[in-house]
Amino acid sequence: MRFGVSEEPDMTKPTITYGHTFLDDCSDVTGWVETHNDLAAGLATWNGDYFRISGTCDNVANECAYWIKNITNFSTDIAAKLLVRWRTSAAANGLQAKINVIYTAGETNTVLGFSTAWKVTVIDLPTGKTVDKIQLEADDNPDSLATGSFYVEFDFVLICQGIFTWPFAGGVRLDGYNNLQRLKIPSKVGNATQYLGADDSALRVWGDIDSTGVNAAGVPVIGKGWHGKWTTHDGEAFYQILHNMNTEPFNWFTSDVASLKVTVDHFGIEQSDTAKNLLVYELDLHEYRLGSAGSETNLERFGIT
């Protein structure tokens, strides 16, 4: 089904990031500079896919290590949402994850904590700041921890203009494909094709936009679909997705079906009923996977371990 409307009231509204101003997929340590280390720790890329800060606690005092990356400065008035995907080797009492955003004046320090499963944390940055650096940190907890080897991992750090939540989606569909492809036999007749590579999993979101908008009191007009115009803030999010789809390597997508890195393939809006001024949309995405990864892990397959 390409376009359709679901009557299910309990469907979790899908979300997607848009308008990225900084994105590091944590697959290359180039540019990350160690600026403090009393933990005997090191930063390395694992499976060509994510960062790992490994360290051994050997002192009853506080121990931490962090790496900083200088980035192209931008204002938090433009982009004020930071997403980081992380996990720790210990559920508690080991190395905990931290991330700090350093501005030209001041900084935002966030204790992510502990999680042995991959977790995405969203941080709201204060307005009126100029982002200058990003800092990844591993810190022992409690501070009196004297022994033990642990690690903290980071999968990506992303700063964007916003996270778009579909007020209404007709549905979300995920199509997976077997990585072991059956090759077609070459033929001189017709236009037979050999499929030499595996297809990425495909994701599709569709629904209605009732562009009649709101009444004089500002209340959405009653009826099916999402009541909002292309020129509203949410419409601007659609425009950002469309405009930047050829430059952003991936967006972070969440839904009941799957939460994963996706690359936008196609985005379409059409007017299906001129009498009702009803718009319908479809967003086609595919799973983002690193071709440079040393092994295909479940981390890149829908974010599961």
Whether 7 shows a pLDDT value over 70: the answer reads no
Q: Are 50 and 27 in contact (CB under 8 A)?
A: yes
Instruction: Dump pLDDT digits (tens) for 102-159.
Output: 999 999 999 999 999 999 999 999 999 999 999 999 999 887 777 889 999 999 999 9
Task: Say whether both 204 and 170 belong to one domain.
Answer: yes
Number of domains in the chain: 2
Task: Say whether both 147 and 245 belong to one domain.
Answer: no
Q: What is the pTM of this model?
A: 0.83
Q: Give the range of the structural domain holding residue 77, as residue numbers without chain letter.
A: 21-162
Task: Say whether both 106 and 194 belong to one domain.
Answer: no
Task: Say whether both 152 and 197 belong to one domain.
Answer: no
> Beta strands of 31-106 (E only): which ranges?
33-37, 41-46, 50-57, 64-75, 81-88, 95-103
Query: CB pairs under 8 A, 24+ apart, for 183-192?
Result: none
Percent of the chain whose pLDDT exceeds 70: 73
Instruction: Give the per-residue pLDDT at 48.
Output: 82
Closest alpha carbon to 136 in 165, 122, 157: 157
Would 293 be classed as within a structural domain? no
Task: Say whether both 112 and 181 belong to one domain.
Answer: no
The enclosing H or E element of 281 equals strand 278-287
Closest alpha carbon to 267 in 255, 279, 254: 279
Instruction: Dump pLDDT digits (tens) for 163-195.
Output: 988 777 788 998 877 666 666 655 555 555 444
Residues counted in the chain? 305
Task: Say whether both 53 and 155 belong to one domain.
Answer: yes
The answer to which of 18-27, 139-148, 212-221 has the lowest mean pLDDT is 212-221
Instruction: Give the per-residue pLDDT at 1.
Output: 39
Task: Say whether both 99 and 174 belong to one domain.
Answer: no
Instruction: Dump pLDDT digits (tens) for 231-278.
Output: 455 556 777 888 888 888 899 999 988 888 999 988 888 876 665 666
Domain with 62 in it: what CATH number? 2.60.120.260
**Model confidence at 87, in pLDDT bands (50, 70, 90)?**
very high
SS3 assignment, position 235: helix
